[in-house]
Amino acid sequence: MTSSVVSLGLKFKALSSNITDEGITAHYGGDSPWGKGGVNRSDHNRCPTIVRAWHDYHLSKGWSGLAYSAVVCPHGIIYQGRWANRRTAANGTNAGNQRSYAVCYLAGGDDAVTTEAKRAFHLSAALLRSSLRWRHSDWKSTSCPGKPIRKWSQAGWPLPPGPNPLPPNPPHPTEEYFVTPEDERKFEAMLDRKLETQTNGILEFILRCARRTCLASSSTSWPSGPL
Ligand SMILES: [Zn+2]
Ligand SMILES: [Zn+2]
């Protein structure tokens, strides 16, 4: 069994660990790499190449490398970016980069969010010990993350039922899977539990408050999506 979480072995310059994540910010990847056919015409063989190209482009801008914590492709694969405990450079403001991981959809602003991608967004959140929370436009004025992700977020980021399909074979031999299949099964089980509770978000929120005694916190707010 393969994992749907992939490290491309991207080499970053020094990354800051100055981040206190409170939730994930969703992005799209600019102009669609898939053209007029959209994600229906997308080719997974191109996904790792595109992620590498973004990394090179961000390096060329003088950044430390790919600005995102992770990239999710329409085929349900999660590409490791800066990953956990590393400050992002994608959220547009100091506050955004301080308070939020950045996960980018490997698609354009008008491309549909596939079922596989939605599950991969949730899996990336679980792996980062976080939750889907913000859109890039919540931090600054931008069209990112585009209409389909905006609509999904406004619905509370619902997790589609069913397991992710078996991920496509890695197109490049240099890719490494860095999450063991056992770990991934564990997180998939977490997602299944999440699916069971997402229709009862208010009860879950109360339970979470009880667990974290967040009622005592002045920063308490209703969650923007399911746990
Ligand atoms: Zn963005
Ligand atoms: Zn793909």
Distance 74 CA to ligand 2 centre (A): 5
Distance of CA 28 from the midpoint of ligand 2 (Å): 14
The mean of the pLDDT values for the chain is 83
- Treating both helix axes as pointing N-terminal to C-terminal, what angle do 201-212 and 181-197 enclose, rounded to 10 degrees? 120
Three-class SS state of 70? strand
Least confident of 83-97, 125-139, 185-199: 185-199
Rounded CA-CA distance 222/160 in Å is 22
Domains of the chain from N-terminus onward: 5-182 (3.40.80.10)
Q: What is the pLDDT of residue 185?
A: 73
Rounded to the nearest 5 percent, the helix, strand and coil shares of the chain are 40, 10, 50
Q: Whole-angstrom Cα distance, residue 142 to residue 195?
A: 31
DSSP state, residue 208: H
The per-residue pLDDT for 119 is: 92
Distance 199 CA to ligand 2 centre (A): 29
Give the tens place of pLDDT for each residue, 33-65: 999 889 999 999 999 999 999 999 999 999 999
Per the CB < 8 A criterion, the answer to whether 76 and 169 are in contact is no
Q: How confident is the model at residue 99 (pLDDT cuts 50, 70, 90)?
A: very high
pLDDT at 22 over 80: yes
Query: How close is the Cα of 214 to the center of ligand 2, in Å?
Result: 38
Q: Given this model, what pLDDT does residue 218 score?
A: 38
Give the strand pairing for 24-28 and 101-105.
Answer: parallel
Starting from the CA of residue 54, give the closest ligand.
1
ipTM beyond 0.95? yes
Residue 112 has pLDDT above 70, yes or no: yes
Q: For residue 14, give Cα distances in angstroms to 64, 78, 163.
A: 6, 22, 37
Ligand nearest to the CA of 165: 2
Could you give phi then psi for residue 226, rounded to 5 degrees? -65, 160
pLDDT in tens, 133-167: 999 999 999 999 999 999 999 999 999 887 766 55
Nearest ligand to residue 171 Cα: 2
Mean pLDDT of 105-116: 96
Average pLDDT over residues 83-112: 96
pLDDT value of position 195: 74
**How confident is the model at residue 5, as a pLDDT?**
86
**What residues are paired with 132 via a beta bridge?**
24
**Token pair belonging to 71:** 């990239």
Q: How many Å lie between the centroid of ligand 1 and the Cα of residue 163? A: 27
Q: How far apart are CA 154 and CA 28, in angstroms?
A: 16
Q: Which two tokens stand for residue 106?
A: 């490997």
Write down the pLDDT at residue 217: 39
